[in-house]
Amino acid sequence: MYTQSMDTMAREGGDNAPRVLEDAALQARFDERIDAGGFIEAKDWMPQDYRKTLIRQISQHAHSEIVGMLPEGNWVTRAPTLKRKSILLAKIQDEGGHGLYLYAAAETLGVSRDELLDALHSGKAKYSSIFNYPTLNWADVGVIGWLVDGAAIMNQVPLCRCSYAPYARAMIRVCREESFHQRQGYDALLAMMEQGTDAQRAMVQDAINRWWWPCLMMFGPHDADSTHSAQSMRWGIKRISNDDLRQKFVDATVQQAQVLGVTMPDPDLRWNEERQHWDFGKIDWDEFWRVVGGDGACNRERLAMRVKAWDDGAWVREAATAHAAKQAARLAAAQAAQHHDTEQLQAA
């Protein structure tokens, strides 16, 4: 059912004169709709580069959701209370669901889920680098909710207005759930800060010290160094620039940190009266590119876990396929028998 856009891909392959004219008209109509802030549906004509960019972005996003289940999955058996354990389980299941909505959205562009997963498992596809950092103590789970999901929300709310409608629709539901993720993380940290021991408060501060800078990197390179940004803004895929989103995130979280009673590990963090924003220090882009390039603390471990989960689940996929074939055969047999009965009745 997701192959409906294939016909438009085939049409783009033509190179004769009438087709060139037709494509120019289609391109003009596409540009007009984008300029007017409109939406593109799966069956609509779209430039190949727009399609490719979306497949890359949506599949990277889907991969990030499912790889993002791993660092937190580490803590399900060690959550401090039954309440925290059930919240964490629900959140991890949500992330799995986000991955599924997003793979389905990518499939509307004419790519198969198997191809996308192959690219992830072979290490060809990227996912958010933040998940290549380790979760060393329970406070890390709270900080992931507060800061990592918080940064994800900043990035994702504008995507609810992305010009590709199936992606935008998926993001509306994803964002509602992300907001719960962020609040459960903050709530877990607040409990440790307000009712915890000195050791627990120190654990929260330690987790923030390790996660703060990688979270600022989640918004991607500075606008001037971001290769895809300008074109994505032009296409209405991206609505707000990396640097603006990062600034919004800093402004929102510094205040939340004050309520929590923690500090950010940045001596240059200070309120700028003139700009009406928080100034912050230099991001270590060498670290960012090193982790993106595969050399973070957990890159190999995460990928190995994903591949193992995929291999271990092979019997489930095989059983589901066999079950579906059996159901289809049973339905076909029942229909044939019914057809036979009708013929006999008519003959009598």
Number of H helices, E strands in the chain: 15, 2
Give the 3-state DSSP-derived string for 213-268, with helices as H, strands as E and coil as C: HHHHHCCCCCHHHCCCHHHHHHCCCCCCCHHHHHHHHHHHHHHHHHHHCCCCCCCC
CB 156 → Fe ion: shortest distance, Å?
A: 8
CB 312 → Fe ion: shortest distance, Å?
A: 23
* 3 state SS of 277: strand
Contact 249, 216 (CB under 8 A): yes
Burial 168-186 (b: 16+ CB within 10 A, else e): bebbeebbebbeebbebbb
Residues within the interface to Fe ion (CB under 5 A): 65, 95, 98, 149, 178, 181
Q: Closer CB to Fe ion, residue 51 or residue 98? A: 98
Q: Closer CB to Fe ion, residue 72 or residue 266? A: 72
CB 147 → Fe ion: shortest distance, Å?
A: 11
CB 169 → Fe ion: shortest distance, Å?
A: 15
Q: Closer CB to Fe ion, residue 65 or residue 266? A: 65
Q: Closer CB to Fe ion, residue 140 or residue 178? A: 178
Q: Closer CB to Fe ion, residue 92 or residue 254? A: 92
34, two tokens: 């984008």
CB 107 → Fe ion: shortest distance, Å?
A: 18
Q: What angle do CA 318, 73, 132 make, to 5 degrees?
A: 100
CB 210 → Fe ion: shortest distance, Å?
A: 19
Q: Closer CB to Fe ion, residue 38 or residue 96? A: 96
Question: What do you get for the CA distance between the two ends of the chain, in Å?
Answer: 42
Residue with tokens 């971001």: 226
